[in-house]
Amino acid sequence: MRLSQVLNRQHIDFMFKKHWRVQGKRVPIDTGLEEQLKAKGIPIQDALEFVKEKPQEHEHLNIVGPYERPLPLDENHPAYKKQPCFTLRSTNVLLEGISQAQVLTKTIIAEDKLPPKIEELAQVPAPTAIHENIKKAILSANVFDCEQKKLPKLKDRERPAYNFPRVLGITDRRRNEILTNKLVQLVEKSSDSEVTMSRYILNDVESKTVFEKEDDLIQFQDISHILVTSNKPVKHDVEKDVTYNEIPDLHPIKCTVTLPPEHFYEEESKYPIKPTVNVRHPHTTWLHYNKTEVSNIYETPVTEQQLLGRSLTHAFTVASAYAKQLHGEDVKDLPEPIYINCIQTDGQKYHFGVLELNTLNVDGTEGTKNVWYCKNNLQLYGSSRYFGGMPVLENYNNKVYGYINALYNC
Amino acid sequence: MYLNRVHRTFPKLKKLVTRRQSQAVLSEQNEYTDTPEYPPILDMSLQGRKFRERQELHQKIQAINTVEEKQIALNMPRYYGWKCIIFNEDKVPYNAMPLVQYYTRSHFIPVDKLPEYYKETSEAADAVVKEIKGLIEEAILIENGGVDRKIITSTQKKEQPQLEDALAKCIVKQINRIISNNLADKVEHVLSSQVDYDPRHEAFWFIGGVDAPINVVRWRQQYKYLKDRWYESIDRPIQYLGTPLLTVRNRLPLKPILPFEEAENPEFKVPKFTAEPCAVGYSTEHRHGTNIPGFWPGDFDEFGLVSYHGRGHILGRRESFGPEDHIEALHCQAMKASFGWLLAQANYQGFTTFNDVTYPLVTQTVITNGQLWSLYAYQLNTIEMHRDKVDSPKSNICFGTKPLKLYDSIENGKVQGLNEDVLKMIVQFYLNAPEERDHEMKPYLGEEEQVVADIEDDNKRCWLENRYKHLVSNRPKHYLLPEVYLWERIYKIQFNSRFFEAKRRPFELGINPYTRRLDQHLPPYIPKGLRPYPKSRKKFETTYYPKV
């Protein structure tokens, strides 16, 4: 609606405002009185000196608002440090993806290979009732959930300026939350009670690890969307004769590229569960890939390599935060390796991984190294959505559940 | 013209065009019957005619086949949405219990223990409690300080209630997890039940018997013939909005707590509450009525078992309300939440606020902050309470406890005084197994078409699906809502100072723009290039609004 249409009808106030503006700029006319009085020797004083009130000083009031305001981010901030810390959060990805993650965490990779026990457990077929329930969970996450929030804007490459009507639907955050939680619930319900009693499940807990690499301070902050913990640390029997992908040379890129330097940080690592808790040992950590939240800092789309790198850094964050809680902040080579399972998913694709953390000394490429076993790109379903007004689930793959179940039970 | 010319050139053509033969109607053999058959005597007064009109509408809605179309039909009379009284789950004003009870027709029975109905599962529950007691204690300890969480609170609401609800949610998740893991092998329905976090619960209904609002009375006072009906009550639309922390739902419904006939027991009659809802503290909002039990029509698990709600809003209430009113507020929350969820479920079975349920539905509601637990069992017997059913004898029944402490305190890293009775009651809610009913569940839905996805016509199915989702999203309209600008109110309505101007605005023409019907709009235009046949004259796309 054009505002002028309504405003023009009748608006006395506009006329008054105009009047005030004209009247407010009056120029005093020189009447010649001052000179006449001076000539007669009468002293003249400025009238404003008598009229003008002296400015009253008020005390500075400290107004208490409904909530505490954050402190200004400057050099007086308590968390301010002079040395910048290169920070990786779960909303950012590494430029070079998995190879940069390898360099940062000093890890060698066993591609397409999980510890034999997991592979063994994954082949055990699940009853059909479980698969029916998984299908229900997929449909409930993609189709039947009632969230109606704004989805990302639609764009047409041919006509980039065209504005499509905004679509409302289930956001990727909620979609992943529903699906992964339902999967974990199903796994738990179908597992032995002895196993489930020794596990604990946490949602949305943050781990943080700070470490030095070749004189650079680096911190990883990551949220485990689901963290399965157990009362005993996980152990895996690992095959010896495996071919590993060695740590690559990133030259001319530096390993901290695209990690934004920050001056406000804490120097201590943080594992979310306190050491007094019995079931504190990390077992499996689930990481969601929410397309609307994770991005490169330079606007380019996230590549598959970058996604895989995300899994590795995430597992490293949780494992090293736990190791530092266990052995102290300055531990380098660990007395015995720490294992952690990691599942990254965008709902459809699943990336499984097991990290064997041997050392926290990530300088150089020699000496003890960490090992990352992974199996990537397993698809749970082809598509699930409303197609022509009908709920659809296509190409359900019943093998993925086996791996999820195996990671939980191993 | 054209035809004439042809006829002139080919005069015989006229004879070829055959006329339909007209025939006299065959008179019936026997016009007379032994006893006279009179047509029914109809009340032809204005009220009588309006009453019949309303009944016809209710019949039409009942006859509609699919759930979604019924929901659209409920909203047909209002393009800009109904002026709903908003029943938020977590906003309970002072002394709202009589109002909530009347608006949900709930008879509240305060109890200390669960009703007799739960007696069967008592022993099984005892055994389960023994097994899970230690785990529950451990979970409570971990959630109260064993884990560092970063809870992000919004600055729109008070902080304290949000923190309490966040903690309650964590504890509820753990307790649900522990109980369902334990019961998964023991009872069948636990494995197949679905658990939802933060689902969207909405319900919409009409309530009759409430005093007419002042603007309606003023409007009636203009007309002499309405003199004896100035204060007659009108239907008030009500919208419930809620988000439980966690719900469990199943393919089958729970058994009724009391037999359906008990619904008409005069002991359970709910007293009338006719005062304006704004006098109690409820406000109104224009929106389309929506009935959503946490999933779209077509999901497999349609019946609720348990829902958990937070009680953080109690912290946001004024202290001067007193502890008794806080407890009543919890009862109100439970009645609203239980009725709202069940009504939405009933809507997915094909019943609406105009077509009453033919069988009872049951749900179990828990309100908690982790330490204090109030447990409610609710049976839905009636959802029809519009103005023609004000004196209906049916009422819904709610059993509820006071807030009970699950544990006394946490000292030295240990839970002190875990109350096993409370834990047992929660376990009993899970042990209460849903059952197949031996009557028809969806009498008012079609046999083959029950939801829009069953419709065979592609265009109709897609159109209805999109329209339904658009309607229930309640997204703002593209154009601003009609309004009377302030300058118009002053210079045109209150003081007739612009009598010389042409009268074009709706209020000058005596039109109320808010009575516009949902289908009173131009359907999307079909550009010429896209029309099915080059000479097709159809300029606008077809709409499939239900005909009510």
Q: How far is A188 from chain B (nearest CA, A)?
A: 6
Phi-psi region of A69 (alpha: psi -120 to 50; beta: other; left: phi over 0): beta
Residue in chain A nearest B178 by alpha carbon: A197
Residue in chain A nearest B200 by alpha carbon: A146
A71's CB contacts (< 8 A; 6+ apart) are A77, A78
Around B163, how many Cα atoms within 13 Å sit in the side-chain half-sphere?
7
Is pLDDT at B26 greater than 80 in this prediction?
A: no
Pick among B144, B147, B176, B197 to test the A interface (most A CBs inside 10 A) = B147
Residues of B in contact with A129 (CB under 8 A): 191-192
Task: Report residue A365's pLDDT band, with 50, 70 and 90 as the boundaries.
Answer: confident
Residues of A in contact with B158 (CB under 8 A): 66
Give me the DSSP letters along B369-403. Answer: SSSEEEEEEEEE-----SGGGTT----EEEEEPPP
DSSP structural state of residue B86? E
Instruction: State the pLDDT at residue B161.
Output: 94
Strand segments, DSSP code E, in A214-280 are 216-230, 261-264
b/e map B203-215, b = 16+ CB within 10 Å: bbbbbbbbbbbee
**Local structure of B84: helix, strand or coil:** strand
Residue in chain B nearest A277 by alpha carbon: B146
Give me the DSSP letters along B327-350. Answer: HHHHHHHHHHHHHHHHHHHHHHTT
Residues of B in contact with A389 (CB under 8 A): 452-453, 455, 458, 461-462, 464-466
- Amino acid (1-letter code) at residue A44: I
Quick check: B147 and A136 CB within 8 A?
no
- Chain B contact for A128, CB < 8 A? no
Q: Is B478 exposed, middle or buried (0-12, 13-18, 19+ CB in 10 A)?
A: exposed
**Residue B164 is inside which H or E element, if any?**
helix B159-183
For the stretch B321-379, pLDDT in tens is 999 999 999 999 999 999 999 999 999 999 999 999 999 999 999 999 999 999 999 99
Instruction: State the pLDDT at residue A64.
Output: 83
Question: What value does the CA radius of gyration of chain B take, rounded to a whole number of Å?
Answer: 29
B148 vs A177, A193, A270: nearest CB: A270
Are β-strands A199-213 and A216-230 bridged in parallel, bridged antiparallel, or unpaired?
antiparallel
Average pLDDT for residues A20-37, to the nearest whole number? 87
For the stretch B257-303, pLDDT in tens is 999 998 899 999 999 999 999 999 999 999 999 999 999 999 999 99
**Residue B288 is inside which H or E element, if any?**
none
Instruction: State the pLDDT at residue A66.
Output: 76
Is pLDDT at B7 greater than 50 in this prediction?
A: no
Task: Report residue B2's pLDDT band, with 50, 70 and 90 as the boundaries.
Answer: very low
- Amino acid (1-letter code) at residue B230: W
- Amino acid (1-letter code) at residue B386: H
A146 vs B195, B200, B475: nearest CB: B200
* Mean of all residue pLDDT scores within chain A: 90
Tokens 């000496």 belong to: A367
**Residue A128 is inside which H or E element, if any?**
helix A128-139
Torsion of CA B338, B290, A385, B246, to 10 degrees: -20
**Local structure of A403: helix, strand or coil:** helix
Instruction: State the pLDDT at residue B33.
Output: 86
Question: Is the separation of the CB atoms in B184 and B428 below 8 Å?
Answer: no
Average pLDDT for residues B66-84, to the nearest whole number? 96
DSSP structural state of residue A347? S
Instruction: State the pLDDT at residue A25.
Output: 86
Describe chain B by its helix, strand, coil percentages, rounded to 5.
Answer: 40, 15, 45
**Cα Dmax for chain A:** 118
For the stretch A36-92, pLDDT in tens is 999 999 988 888 888 888 888 889 888 887 777 888 999 999 999 999 999 999 999
- Amino acid (1-letter code) at residue B184: A
Instruction: State the pLDDT at residue B462.
Output: 95
- Amino acid (1-letter code) at residue A61: L
Cα of A18 vs its chain's centroid, Å = 54
Question: What value does the CA radius of gyration of chain A take, rounded to a whole number of Å?
Answer: 32
Quick check: A144 and B200 CB within 8 A?
no
Question: Is the separation of the CB atoms in B197 and B248 below 8 Å?
Answer: no
CA angle B302, B307, B308 (to 5 degrees): 160
Q: Is A121 exposed, middle or buried (0-12, 13-18, 19+ CB in 10 A)?
A: middle
Q: Is B373 exposed, middle or buried (0-12, 13-18, 19+ CB in 10 A)?
A: buried
Is pLDDT at B460 greater than 80 in this prediction?
A: yes
B25's CB contacts (< 8 A; 6+ apart) are none
- Chain A contact for B157, CB < 8 A? no
Phi-psi region of B98 (alpha: psi -120 to 50; beta: other; left: phi over 0): alpha
Quick check: A189 and B190 CB within 8 A?
yes
Around B352, how many Cα atoms within 13 Å sit in the side-chain half-sphere?
26
Task: Report residue A403's pLDDT band, with 50, 70 and 90 as the boundaries.
Answer: very high
Distance CA B465, CA B248 (A): 26
Distance CA B483, CA B477 (A): 14
* Mean of all residue pLDDT scores within chain B: 91
Distance CA B437, CA B49 (A): 39
- Amino acid (1-letter code) at residue B243: T
The β-bridge partners of B416 are: B409
Closest CA to A234 of A301, A281, A294, A273: A281
Question: Is the separation of the CB atoms in A307 and A323 below 8 Å?
Answer: no
Q: Is B482 exposed, middle or buried (0-12, 13-18, 19+ CB in 10 A)?
A: middle
Quick check: B184 and A190 CB within 8 A?
yes
Question: Which ipTM score applies to this complex?
Answer: 0.90
Alpha carbon distances (Å) from A145 to A169, B91, B196, B342, B428: 9, 25, 9, 18, 28
